[in-house]
Structure 1
Amino acid sequence: MHSAVAVSFLGRRLVGRLMVRWAGPIRRGGGTRETSPHPAGDQTCRHFSRRKKNFKSQIWQQQGPQVDMGDSSNKKLKMASHDADIERFDQAFHQLVTELIDEDAKNPEISDAMVRFRQVLEYNCPGGKRNRGLSVITSYRYLVNSDQLTEENIHRAMVVGWCIEWLQAFFLVLDDIMDQSQTRRGQPCWYRVEEVGNMAINDACYIESCIYKLLRRFCRDQPYYVDLLELFQGTTYKTIVGQSLDLITSPDGKVNLSNFTEERYNAIVKYKTAFYSFHLPVAAAMYMAGITSKESHENAKTILLEMGRFFQIQDDYLDCYGDPAVTGKVGTDVEENKCSWLVVQALRLVNNGQLTLLQENYGQNDPTKVAAVKQLYGELCLQDEFWKFEESSYTQLMTLINSSHQDLPKEMFVAFAQKIYKRKK
């Protein structure tokens, strides 16, 4: 087989497998179809097993843009490096906490505070999926030559990765207080821990301050230090703006479904989630790799913000349909009057009677009313809507990846897409 044909076939085959993973496990056998009222008349939800089978067929037959996945042996090497990085990444966390705490614990005036802050860091920073932090190391490995993968550089990338994880922890501690959430990562939210309460606000400020202590300690003598500082500060600002949009759109105790527009939802997702979850890790790695081209950063941002949008939409989907034992969080978007993707789609599909039902039951901390909203979601086939969105997202994402700047490895973005589309938590 000609080498070019072989590479094309391998790329199509791997992308096909990737999309089967995205679609999730296939239900075997038959089963009745669910019907539901719809503004256009009685509509029938497509049976999931048939949909997924058709979806797989569409991927194999697709004539649109495909991604060259590169040499398979190189991919195996990257995966092996990733597995080793996970172990080293976890070890680095404890080392960094010890360095930060021990340094200040020597001062008798503040030693009591350091005892507390160790608990703050160890309770709130680890325990997540670590995707954001690990993405820094993964991206850095893709972006630099092998001679730049020194122990010092890898460790520095891990430090920056943990800075992003701590930025995430800072946001989550405050977000849980504002949303009055119950659990986070399978344990009580920090503010709900005995004798913590509103002290969690100051604890969150401490977590954020550690980011800049770490950047100063490990990156101050690097040419990209200022770029990293501006990137972290700019991302924090954008995320705060996104949180404000979220709170304004879904005020406590005031349900106004007219606020829940597609445009407002996309703005909340972009600023509150996509910048810090997807753009920040890769942009940081790009600066560390010496990539400063504005065009390259803009192209990467376009792809990463699209990934971030899908990630949040999937998060909204899992809030309603995910298993709390797997996600580590009890979904509360309906009770909390959240402008989630599901309610935005519901508002697009409802008839007048269903709209009334939604208005009467959404944003109420009442199990019966929450159940009524979720039953309406089922009648509107919102799970089906999610799968349709995922299919269109794939096409758009592959187009964006193929049009990325020449100094950005396409396989790096494909690797991130794999993590997103198969996740269950």
Structure 2
Amino acid sequence: MTSRADDPAFRTQVDHTLVAFVEAQRPVLAPLGNDVEDLADVSIAFVAGGKRLRPQFCYAGWLLAGGDPHDRDIVTAAAALEWLQASALVHDDLMDGSDTRRGRPSVHREFETRHRAEGRHGDPVGFGTSVAVLLGDLLLSWCDQMFTCAVLRSDSMRPNLLEARHFLDRCKTEVVAGQFLDVTGQTRAYLSVAEAMTVVRYKSAKYTVERPLHIGAALAGADTGLVAALSEVALPLGEAFQLRDDVLGVFGDPELTGKPTGDDLREGKRTVLVARAAELTSDAGRNLLGSALGTTDGVDAVRDLIVDSGALAAVEDDIARLEGQADAAIDLLGPQGRTVLGPLALTATRRSH
């Protein structure tokens, strides 16, 4: 591996580490029967094709705090964050009623379909829901298991376990709190831009960028000054990442995103795009939002309103402003900060999926 956090070799090692971990779980699952062992195959398939942003940001924190770029245990510790991400996605798809994820059926839909195809007794929808809840819980437990085992077997990381666990535990609490804000936001007619940005910060920015950077840095023994400096990069970068995600959710190519265009509008998500539209449009536009958001038939009308009101342009301006803030904070980290984080920052915000 090199000293760049976006090193393709690092991503490949993360992929292999995830598969190897699941294979090591088969002896635990197999004695319980084929149905249970099948969770191993489902888990491997579910994490395939991910961007690996969280492990890469964890590796970036490690490098910036002076960690050895060739340390094999940091790969495993960083890869564990993919199980946290997978757990959140399985549950998120269930809560949103999403049909697909990365071009494949979402977990609850896949098991609904299996229930029907196999002629099982009972409610196929309830079966799919139950499997998604249980699989999400299993993946979350794998995050803890994989992370802790990697750190404990490492002479260099073991002394820093408590500090790193502090940031991992904060990460889990914050993402659940962000998800809760997102869920409760859907029960309100509108969110202000500030309220929608709070959801962005806790559901995505901290969880995707800030805490992974902190975890990696803590494992390498970072001081409080570096941790604070990493937050100055992470929060605007993570917010720009989520705003780009919101734009792609409405205007992206489903062949690239793996999800149907307009899913967020169909689900009635009160994103910053929607908050900007409500802020910038007329009373008639707000009435249209109130009646069309969260419906299948209203997707095209809301999408047009987001463009015509100037909301899309405003959010693109927000992304550019946040990118500028993150870029300036990267410069303050010195030349190594630019080498380690610069390309990864572009990957997070200048993307099509």
TM-score bracket relative to the smaller structure:
0.7 to 0.9
What's the secondary structure of 1:334's corresponding residue?
A: helix
Distance (whole Å) between structure 2 residues aligned to residue 149 and residue 77 of structure 1: 6
| Structure 2 equivalent of residue 388 of structure 1 | 317
**Contact persistence 1:89–1:134 (CA under 8 A):** no
Distance 1:81 1:186, change over 3 A: closer
Residue 118 of structure 2 is matched in structure 1 by: none
Q: 1:413 to 1:83 in 2, by over 3 A?
A: closer
Q: Which residue of 2 aligns with 1:401?
A: 330
* C-alpha distance in structure 2 between counterparts of 1:90 and 1:278, whole Å: 19
Q: Which amino acid aligns with 1:214?
A: M
Q: Is the 8 A contact 2:285 2:305 kept in 1?
A: yes
1:388 and 1:215, CA in 2 relative to 1: closer, same or farther beyond 3 A?
closer
Structure 2 segments unaligned to the other structure (5+ residues): 116-126
Deviations 1:332-382 (A, max 9, x none): 111211111211111111122222222222222x32x22111121222233
Match of 1:213 among 133, 137, 145: 145
Match of 2:195 in 1: 264
Q: Which residue of 1 aligns with 2:172?
A: 236
Contact 2:160-2:219 at 8 Å conserved across structures:
yes
Residue of structure 2 equivalent to 1:98: 23
Tell me if 1:286 matches 2:217.
yes
Match in the other structure for 2:341: 413
Identical aligned pairs, as a percentage?
Answer: 23
Greater Cα offset, 118-127 or 235-244: 118-127
Q: How has the CA–CA distance of structure 1 residues 340 and 217 changed in structure 2, closer, same or farther, with 3 Å as cutoff?
A: same
CA distance in 1, matches of 2:149, 2:5: 29
- Larger fraction in helix: 2
CA contact (8 A) 2:163 2:218 kept: yes
Q: Is the 8 A contact 2:77 2:148 kept in 1?
A: no
- Aligned residue number for residue 336 of structure 1: 267
Measured after TM superposition, the shift of residue 226 of structure 1 is 1.8
In the alignment, which residue of structure 1 is the partner of 2:76?
159
CA distance in 1, matches of 2:341, 2:321: 17
TM-score by length of 1: 0.72
Q: Secondary structure at the match of 2:49?
A: coil
Deviation at 1:397, TM superposition (A): 2.3
- Amino acid of the structure 1 residue aligned with 2:105: P
Query: What amino acid does structure 2 have at the position aligned with 1:97?
Result: V
Q: Is the 8 A contact 1:173 1:204 kept in 2?
A: yes
Superposition misfits of 4+ residues, deviation over 6 angstroms = none
Q: Closer, same or farther in 2 for the Cα pair 1:192/1:80, shift >3 Å?
A: closer
Alignment of 1:130-149 (within 5 A): 130-144=52-66, 148-149=68-69
Match of 2:245 in 1: 315
Distance 1:81 1:296 in 2: 20
Equivalent residue, structure 2, for 1:89: 14
Question: Tell me, which stretches of 5 or more residues in structure 1 are unaligned?
Answer: 1-75
The structure having more radius of gyration, on CA atoms, is: 1
* Helix, strand or coil at the partner of 2:264: coil
Partners of 2:196 and 2:272 within 8 A in 1: yes
* Distance of 2:98 and 2:5 partners within structure 1: 37
How many corresponding residue pairs?
333
CA contact (8 A) 1:136 1:158 kept: no
Helix, strand or coil: the match of 2:51? coil
